[in-house]
Amino acid sequence: MNIRKTLSKEAIALNLQGHDKNSVIEEMVDILVAAGKITNRKAALKAVLEREKKMSTGMQNGIAIPHGKTDTIDSLAVALGLKKEGLEFDSLDGQPSVIFIMTLSPINRTGPHIQFLAEISRQLNDPVLRERVLNAQSPDEVINVLAGD
């Protein structure tokens, strides 16, 4: 999976403003809209919130991966946001989330979505890499870290 092809600097926010789970999810959907990755905000937001109701996407080690599937897009859309002070996201380990990766994918295509989640999860398991992402000074730097540069 080529991070540079999947994640664009326009879809990265270094300082999320949301104050709770739903506002961060909305903010990340808005980032995808502003980046031109999705056009139907309402359908995208509904897909992510419905998925979140089933089970929290707050993982471990400060990572949350809210995601959803919608028939309103043709290919995988990815946004990444940072909230250095952390946010309660009903994570598996009970810790606040600081790195948020949102994916939206077409209902009928699971391959790219699964590949991306597996790759980004593998990378973010590394505490040094997580720290480098959190300390990045620009979206370009985030991409360089995740791309292994």
Distances in Å between the alpha carbon of 139 and those of 55, 77, 87, 142? 29, 16, 21, 5
pLDDT of residue 81: 98
Residue 67 appears among annotated catalytic residues: yes
Instruction: Give pTM, 2 decimals.
Output: 0.94
Rounded to the nearest 10 degrees, the angle between the axes of helix 127-134 and helix 111-124 is 100
- Which of 138, 134, 71 has the alpha carbon at shortest distance from 104? 71
Angstrom distance (rounded) from CA 98 to CA 112: 24
pLDDT of residue 91: 92
| Count of C-beta atoms within a 10 Å radius of residue 93 | 11
pLDDT of residue 1: 62
Q: Which residues of the chain have pLDDT under 50?
A: none
- Among the listed residues 67, 69, 83, 130, the single catalytic one is 67
pLDDT of residue 87: 95
pLDDT of residue 148: 83
Distances in Å between the alpha carbon of 135 and those of 30, 39, 122? 23, 31, 19
- Which of 108, 94, 80 has the alpha carbon at shortest distance from 8? 80
pLDDT of residue 2: 77
pLDDT of residue 109: 75
- State whether CATH 3.40.930.10 applies to domain 3-146: yes
- Residue 77 in tokens: 């859309």
User: 118 near 66, Cβ under 8 Å?
Assistant: no
